[in-house]
Amino acid sequence: MVQLGKFIGAGLGWVFGGPIGALVGGIVGHLYDKANEADSYTEYDDFSISLIVLSAAVMKSDGKLLKSELNYIKSFLVNHFGKETARKLLPVLKNLLEQEEPIPLRQVCIQIRQNTTHATRLQLMDYLIGIAKADGEVHPKEINTLHIIAVYLNINPRDLASLLEIHKPESEQNPYEILEVSPNASNEEIKRAFKRLALKFHPDRVANLGDDVVKAANEKFKKINEAYEKIRKQRGF
């Protein structure tokens, strides 16, 4: 029998309690216990498991669960987290997708919100958007679920809009939308917006989650810088 208590302590392993624990605690504990990795459990693991639970909610929202989607998700996880982490997370995802009961999204998000920083939740949203778009198509119901998750995680609608814009093909991106400003904004307003976003989305804010997450945060940070530079050159300031 898996001893879940060994995962909980010093703020780590919080996913084994509350609604998330009720959903996946058993299978996650078994996976880590089987691999004798309980002692190495970190905030990164809490983060990745939270992502999988929210990803399952997004995937189930359009009422279709295609094998192709799972293949895309597997590729996404391998590319962003590595083969070993993907190996652990995929059984958890499949287990969630097979459960008939709907995921209690509000309760799950409240648990995540109470145990993570705002920067961590922004990165969760960034990954969720990437997963929703992994198969090249985002169903309107998936977009709606993303908006609901953002509300429950206390993510500003403008921040969500910025993240959604960043995930568009580069040729379709609106730099003003990325910087969360109107095209009619003054140069000073644009400068202030850039500084605010640069601080909010700085990769150092998720350094506690490991190199893979920091790498993703750097990509997002780069897009914000590129949007600012594009506007700056257009306006000549």
Residue ranges per domain, the chain? 1-155, 157-237
3-state secondary structure of 12: strand
pLDDT for the residue numbered 30:
63
Per-residue tokens: 80? 């962003």
Cα 236 → chain centroid: 35
CATH number 1.10.287 given to 157-237: yes
DSSP 157-178: HHHHHHHHHHTS-GGG--HHHH
| Helix H or strand E segment including 154 | none
- pTM for the model stands at 0.84
Rounded to 5°, the CA angle 17-65-109 comes to 30
Q: In this predicted model, what pLDDT tens digit does every residue of 29-57 receive, in sequence order?
A: 666 555 445 445 566 778 888 999 999 99
3-state secondary structure of 21: helix
Cα separation of 157 and 165, whole Å? 12
Position 237 pLDDT exceeds 80: yes
Per-residue tokens: 51? 């992502």
DSSP 100-148: SSPP-HHHHHHHHHHHS-HHHHHHHHHHHHHHHTTTS---HHHHHHHHH
Position 185 pLDDT exceeds 90: yes
Q: In this predicted model, what pLDDT tens digit does every residue of 131-159 receive, in sequence order?
A: 888 777 778 888 999 999 999 999 999 99
Per-residue tokens: 201? 């989305």
- Per-residue pLDDT band for 5 (boundaries 50, 70, 90) equals very low
